[in-house]
Structure 1
C-alpha cells in the first residue's frame, strides 16, 4: 500500500499554507510524511507546488485534473501510486495515530474504500482507496460531482465505526484538523497538555 498526503488545498480559511504550519517543532507536512514513512513502503505528496516540498525527499505530484478538489487529489494519487491501494490523509492533521491507520490497512482487503465514521460523519480524508475507484472517481469529476462520498454508492465501501476507532484512538484526536487559526490554537493547547502529562509520568 502507498501512503499519500493531500497538500493541494488553498488553505483559504487559515490564510496561509497549512502544510507549512510549525507544530511541536516540525512543519505539519514533515510530521505527516514521517508518520507515513514508518508505515508504508512508498509515500507521495499531491501538491501543485512541488519545489516547496522537494526537501522532504518524496515524490511530489501535481493534480492531473486541475480544480477538482480533494477528489482530484485522490484520483491523482491513485493514478501515480505503485501499489493497488493507498491510504490518503490531509496535510493538516497534527495528531495522526499510527494504530488507527494500521486498523484501516488491516480492513482494506477486498474493499474499494475503507473509511472511518466519527460522530455520524464519514472521514474521507483519512481513508483507504483502491485503484478500482479510478473509473468511478473520473466519472464523478467529469460530471462535476466533487464531493468525495458521492461516488461511494457505486463502490464496495467498508465503514469503520466509532467503537472500533476509539479502541485505538480514545479521544479521536487522529481526525482533528486545523482549518482555522482558532483550531490551531486548540491543537496547540492539546499538545501542551499532552507534553505536561508526559513530563508528569516521567518525573
Structure 2
C-alpha cells in the first residue's frame, strides 16, 4: 500500500497569503497537487495547520500537532498517520506535478528523493523514529534527513524522460511566480506574445 502525503503546513510568508488556497483554473492550487497524488496512491493525506480549507474528495486532512513551521513536522505527522509502508512525500504547492513523475517515485525503493528536490521523496513508515529524533534535536533540514537515511538520489535526467522541462518541480513561493505562470499566460496570448 502506498500513502501519499501532501505537505500543506507552511506559512506562505513569501507569497503574502495562503498560497495553497489561491485559485487556479477553477480549483484551489492545493487541489491540483492532491488530484495528482490520488492517481498514484492508495491513501492520500494532506498534512496541514488548523482547519482544512475545503473537502478534498478521496483525501484525508491531518493536522500537524506542532505550533512551529517545518517540513519535518509534516513528514513526521505523515509517517505516523500513514497506513501504507511506502510514503510518497510532496509539497502542496506543485500544481504542475506530472503523474508519471509521481509513479517513478513510488516505484523506487525507499528512501529516495529527486535530485535537488528533497521534498519530492518516497520514505518508509519505519523511518518515523529517525524523523522524530531529528525533530527532538531541533534539526529541520530535509537534506539532512536524506543524509541520515542514506536516501538514494534519483537523477533529474531520469525524470526528464517524463518531464523534459522539469515543470513538475515548479513550486510557487512568491505571488509574482503564481501570477506570471498562471495569470500572465492569457495576457501574453492576448497580446500576441504567447507561444505554444
Task: Please report the TM-score for the alignment, with normalisation by the length of structure 2.
Answer: 0.88
Q: Secondary structure at the match of 1:61?
A: strand
Question: 1:90/1:190 Cα in 2 relative to 1: closer, same or farther (>3 Å)?
Answer: farther
| Residues 1:52 and 2:53 aligned together | yes
How do 1:114-125 and structure 2 match up within 5 A? 114-117=112-115, 122-125=116-119
In the alignment, structure 1 residue 169 sits paired with structure 2 residue 163 = yes
Runs of 4+ aligned structure 1 residues displaced above 6 Å come to none
CA deviations on 1:103-141 (whole Å, 9 max, x unpaired) are: 111112xx3x21011xxxx21222111112211111111
Q: What's the counterpart of residue 76 of structure 2?
A: 75
> Could you tell me which residue of structure 1 aligns to residue 9 of structure 2?
8
Task: Name which of structure 1's ranges 60-69 and 38-47 shifts more when overlaid on structure 2.
Answer: 60-69
Q: 2:143 aligns with which of 139, 149, 166?
A: 149
Instruction: Structure 1: give runs of 5+ residues left out of the alignment.
Output: none
- Pick closer, same or farther for the CA change 1:12–1:127 going to 2, 3 Å: same
Contact (CA 8 Å) 2:9, 2:69: kept in 1 or not? no
Quote the offset at 1:191 in angstroms: 6.1
Classify 1:104/1:51 alpha carbon distance in 2 versus 1 (closer, same or farther; 3 Å): closer
Secondary structure in structure 2 of the residue aligned to 1:56: coil
Counterpart of 1:132 (choices 126, 134, 137) is: 126
Q: 5 Å matches for 1:98-109?
A: 98-108=99-109
| 1:151 Cα deviation after fit | 2.4
Find the residue that maps to 1:46 and give its secondary structure.
strand
Deviation by residue 1:7-28 (Cα, 9 ceiling, x = unmatched):
1111001111111111122211
Q: Secondary structure at the match of 1:44?
A: strand
Query: Retained in 1: the 8 A contact 2:32–2:96?
Result: no
- Alpha-carbon separation, structure 1, partners of 2:20 and 2:92: 6
Structural RMSD (CA): 2.2
Q: Which has the higher helix share?
A: 1
Q: Which moved more, 1:9-18 or 1:131-140?
A: 131-140
The TM-score with structure 1 as length reference comes to: 0.85
Say if 2:33 and 2:96, in contact at 8 Å, map to a contact too.
no
Structure 1 residues 28, 43: closer, same or farther in 2, change over 3 A?
A: same
